[in-house]
Structure 1
């Protein structure tokens, strides 16, 4: 039987205490972040956000779950311009559909496929209301959403350059269960965003 020296035991006990303490603090931070707002979570909001975001982000709350009741999809299309000045408009491409296809049947889906597009749209909506700017970060939100869309669409064909990009957001209510008498219109309703010009800076580093 191996006998540990006193210094070795001291090091092992100290390391174990640090690991247990760190784990307890981390779990406590996750709990406070997910729990309803309280005095502690308000006082240490910045510290809690620093622990949770971005790796451990959650979109649910303890004790008061609020599941999504709508399916939201994002489509995009671009206009290209040829050397002779001819402008062509591509068909709508389903950005959300592409993300769903990448996630479905994938045992370890990418965080990018699951959340990047959705968070970019949430960021945009939080800084715009009926196409009106409502915050100082509106330009950043627009640029971010535009670059996300352009990255998913890919570069233009040879001999063409990207001229403009446009997004549309489809919202469809989830159908009620078969046993429910509730009547819900499940047809998607679309909201088109403005055409945004595409410059060299918009494309830098995307592919």
Structure 2
């Protein structure tokens, strides 16, 4: 009887296991390679997102930022209130705080408009001037009144492209003066002197284009106001007599001369 070792034959080794009936290979030996190790997914805590904006600041910085924003907001509200009082029609509040409003608005935030549309013009205001001159013979003489508004109107009539200067410069200069002086020609603020110099420079520059008959030493300005006739259907009655506002005589100084007036030698 052959031994078990002989039955193994040359086709196998002594270490080979005998096959089981039915071709079932049976359990395999565990491999020396452990393979991938499965671990339980217990999860890791999510990293918090980086904070942005004011949340990223420290508590003290947030307080400073909040105070700065509050200061900007209050300043903006005060500015809007001052502008509102400046451009709104005259009222009790604007009259009571007129000095504070003017100090806040002028000159950096000056507004050249009004909150509500003004009433249509019912007056024609003409700016006129005359001069005290010294002739070549040494005599002193006062010229007739020169209507510079009428001269501007003549320049505009028939012109397809009238100049902005002819249309607005003299009118705005007079409005500038009356806005900073009372009925007694007393200055109402820091821009009163500036408005006086502006009027003198305008008048002297326009006189430099004319033959004044001598050297100009003093000038005087006045306004002539006439009422616009009401329409036929209106029952309103207006006077036909013009009203005058005469300013005092001003002695001409070199500071009153524009470049044009100085080159023209209006004072020589």
TM-score bracket, normalised by the shorter chain, equals: 0.5 to 0.7
Q: Counterpart in 1 of 2:174?
A: 121
Structure 1 gap ranges (5+): 1-38, 46-56
Q: Render the CA deviation track for 1:29-51: whole Å, top value 9, x for unaligned.
A: xxxxxxxxxx8x938x6xxxxxx
Task: Say which structure is richer in strand.
Answer: 1
* Residue among 152, 177, 183 paired with 1:99: 152
Q: Counterpart in 1 of 2:224?
A: 170
Q: CA separation in 2, counterparts of 1:92 and 1:157?
A: 14
Q: Counterpart in 2 of 1:19?
A: none
Structure with the greater relative contact order (CA < 8 A, sep ≥ 6): 1 or 2? 1
* Residue among 42, 48, 62 paired with 2:80: 42
1:16-165 alignment to 2 at 5 Å?
42=80, 64-82=117-135, 85-129=138-182, 130-154=184-208, 160-165=214-219
Q: How does the TM-score come out when normalised to structure 2?
A: 0.52
Secondary structure of the residue aligned to 1:97 is helix
Moved over 4 A (4+): 57-62, 155-159
Q: CA separation in 2, counterparts of 1:58 and 1:99?
A: 22
* Residue among 244, 247, 250 paired with 1:196: 250
Secondary structure of the residue aligned to 2:238 is coil
Residues 217 and 252, structure 2, Cα contact 8 Å, conserved in 1: yes
Q: Counterpart in 1 of 2:65?
A: none
Q: How does the TM-score come out when normalised to structure 1?
A: 0.66
Q: Render the CA deviation track for 1:88-139: whole Å, top value 9, x for unaligned.
A: 1111111100111111121111110111001111111111112111111111
Paired residue total:
160
| Distance of aligned partners of 1:156 and 1:114 in 2 relative to their CA distance in 1, 3 Å threshold | closer
Residues 133 and 213, structure 2, Cα contact 8 Å, conserved in 1: no
Structure 2 gap ranges (5+): 1-76, 84-110, 262-268
